[in-house]
Amino acid sequence: MIDVNQVGLTIGPFEHRLHWRDIILYHLGIGFGASDLDYVYERAEGGLKVCPSYAVIPVFHPFFEVLEKLKIDLKTVLHGEEAIRLHAPLPSKGKLLSTVKVAGIYDKKKAALVVLDTESTDEKGALVCATRMSLFCRGLGGWGGDPGPKAEAVPVPKDKSPDFEVSYRTTEDQAAIYRLSGDVNPLHIDPKAAEAAGFPRPILHGLCTFGFATRAILAGACGGDVSRFKAFQGRFADVVYPGDTITTRGWHVGDGRYVIEAATERSVVLSHALAEVAP
């Protein structure tokens, strides 16, 4: 049984050095290409831009440290929800210092829901970004504990067309590239691991899908300006397979807030999603 006494555990800070090779590799992993020069060329005029969803990368190492402390087998983990908040545009050089806190452990009967909060600061201690990650750990529930708070309802407007709609096709190699940024769960590369988890073949990382949706929000709501992107949260509603096309739609609901929905040809893959954009 999972140790619920670990709620409140905080570890770190963990140092993440920012290097243009790692940033560009991440960008390639979420579908940027040679035509997106500002994101894939270290000498781009005006400097290399960093996609806001890169906020998830500095906390990969702390994430694995927490799993080890909680004695959670990576093979049992499915990513349920993700949220990021940017307090400043992500830098392309220097370093970030990240801490992670076990914010909650909840009993979902067939699984434990583990919620991790992270903060990343620059070298001077200024907060740059924060994330919240919700993980379903299969087979670890059923101890009769707190089921946790109910998720905020984020209904998609039915009476209006989306204010933007952006489609990007993933490649057959998308997961193989994305995993090089730190998420090495075999579910995304090993056919045997995927089959053991109940999938016909390896699935795309949820955070890769999250990155594709972030790109779409940048294009559709921010005019490509990374400084306008403030926050994004969503629930992983279904799987994406490498080669699928991800279409992200956004409905402006006031005060710079957009209801977001991302879908493949088969189903909605990101739901209960909201983005916040500055004017």
- Spot the catalytic one: 57, 105, 183, 217: 183
Strand order in the sheet with 94-107: 10-18, 94-107, 111-121, 127-138, 77-86, 229-236, 268-277, 257-263, 245-254, 164-169
- The reply to whether 203 belongs to the active site is yes
- β-pairing, 111-121 with 94-107? antiparallel
- 3-state SS class at 203: coil
- The reply to whether 206 belongs to the active site is yes
Give the helix ranges, DSSP H, for the chain.
20-29, 37-40, 60-69, 174-178, 191-196, 206-221
149 vs 167: CA distance, rounded Å: 33
Instruction: Tell me the sheet residues that pair with 248.
Output: 166, 262
- Spot the catalytic one: 72, 203, 246, 260: 203
Instruction: Tell me the sheet residues that pair with 263.
Output: 247, 268
- Spot the catalytic one: 12, 80, 206, 220: 206
Give me Rg for the CA atoms of the chain. Answer: 18
Three-state SS string over 115-174 comes to EEEEEEECCCCCEEEEEEEEEEEECCCCCCCCCCCCCCCCCCCCCCCCCEEEEEECCCCH
In sequence order, which residues have a C-beta less than 8 Å from that of residue 46 and are 6 or more positions away?
Answer: 38
Q: Which of 98, 84, 134, 115 is nearest to 6 (CA)?
A: 115
- The reply to whether 246 belongs to the active site is no
- The reply to whether 225 belongs to the active site is no
- Spot the catalytic one: 188, 205, 244, 246: 188
Active site residues: 183, 188, 203, 206
